[in-house]
Structure 1
Amino acid sequence: MPEDYAADHPLFGGAISSTFPLRFQDVSNIRQVPDHQEVFVDPARDESLIFELLDLKLDVADTGSATWFLQDLATEQEAEGTMLIEQSGVIEADGLCFRNIPAVITSAVGQMAISKGRQGREAQNIVRVYLANLRLKEVGTDVLITAYEPVVINPLSETASTVGAGLAVPAIQSGCMPMSEVFKLALSSFKVNDWSLFGAA
């Protein structure tokens, strides 16, 4: 089966599922991942896809919530030169309902310079970040779907040894689904199969 074949992946023990290409490997097979996260990477392209469950941020408005989380992420990763490329309005997700209340979704795309792991600022890569915030208010949860796509790989970054330094090769040239499409697919196919994951009766 081709690596870029998209399949349904069970997340959080199957309580949630989402569809994305098989080239993304489950990081928990390699290292420990926090319980509230599911992390998948394509090591050949240094692209990653992260699903995260957080307590609902009551003080963050729905409008622009994805942008807020994107900024929060940039701060957390000590990113530099963060730039917002686009953001969506608030969309109601009719297919993602709890007690007939649909989730609300916003998304944002940004670009930032971030270092891998414990590498310093001199090894920063320029990365495009796609982030969606699915607000499951009835169960007090903010779901984040974040996709990272390297744009420029720093020669000092540890990524350079596997992916190569300089401008990242566009996915389409490698016969891969572009990260923007991977992100859209993962978001549009996101499904809660068991609401008891959130402690909902």
Structure 2
Amino acid sequence: METFHEQMMFGDSLSVFLPNDAKDVSEIREIPDNQEVFTHSQMDQSVIFEILEYVKEDSHQQAMRTHFEDVCLSNEVGEDSEIITIEAVPADRIQMEHAKCVWYLKGCQRVAKFNEDAKNTVEIHMALFRLPQFDSDILVTFNNPLEI
């Protein structure tokens, strides 16, 4: 059974529980100040925590789509992406006191690493914590490779 530890992030402003096998990517390479990135030492999974500027859209659902499209752009996936579901997280499941609402997205991307020709199929799970009072969004992205 996998065990977990509390990981402090962003200068001890936030904490999460991660598997003990999770490795802090900032120990390997430089990570922007607005991100915390962890990989699993035995799987090719990763989780990224980002503090971003609040996306002003007509709906929270559209803000979630905008963040997904930004990740697709960063990963250079072009048209090789799909949103499977977007849904609001029920208020009784939200544990971040300042979050006005939280949205969940499940998607898929076919992405090449390091300019390779072959593309990996990666299942994407995203949680968007909306913090309009701080003009911020917190985006959590879990990448789960399905086919490498």
Unaligned runs of 5+ in 1: 154-201
Q: How many matched pairs?
A: 146
Tell me which residue corresponds to 2:146: 151
Unaligned runs of 5+ in 2: none
Tell me which residue corresponds to 1:84: 83
Look up the equivalent residue of 2:48 and give its one-letter code: I
- The equivalent position to 1:133 in structure 2, one of 125, 128, 131, is 128
Measured in 2, the distance between the counterparts of 1:148 and 1:94 equals: 21
Q: 1:146-196 CA deviation, whole Å, 9 max, x = no partner?
A: 00011110xxxxxxxxxxxxxxxxxxxxxxxxxxxxxxxxxxxxxxxxxxx
SS of aligned partner of 1:13: coil
Measured in 1, the distance between the counterparts of 2:64 and 2:90 equals: 12
Shift of 1:66: 2.2
Tell me which residue corresponds to 2:100: 103
Shift of 1:75: 2.2
Tell me which residue corresponds to 1:112: 109
Q: CA RMSD in A?
A: 1.9
Look up the equivalent residue of 2:100 and give its one-letter code: A
Which structure is higher in helix share?
Answer: 1
- Structure 1 stretches of 4+ moved >4 Å: none
Which structure is higher in strand share?
Answer: 2
Q: 1:135-156 CA deviation, whole Å, 9 max, x = no partner?
A: 1111111100000011110xxx
Shift of 1:70: 1.3
Task: Give the TM-score normalised by structure 1.
Answer: 0.66
- The equivalent position to 1:12 in structure 2, one of 3, 10, 13, is 10
Measured in 2, the distance between the counterparts of 1:103 and 1:23 equals: 32
**What is the percentage of aligned positions where both structures have the same residue?**
27
Task: Give the TM-score normalised by structure 2.
Answer: 0.88
Measured in 2, the distance between the counterparts of 1:63 and 1:91 equals: 14
Shift of 1:94: 5.6
Tell me which residue corresponds to 1:63: 61
Tell me which residue corresponds to 2:37: 39
Look up the equivalent residue of 2:87 and give its one-letter code: S
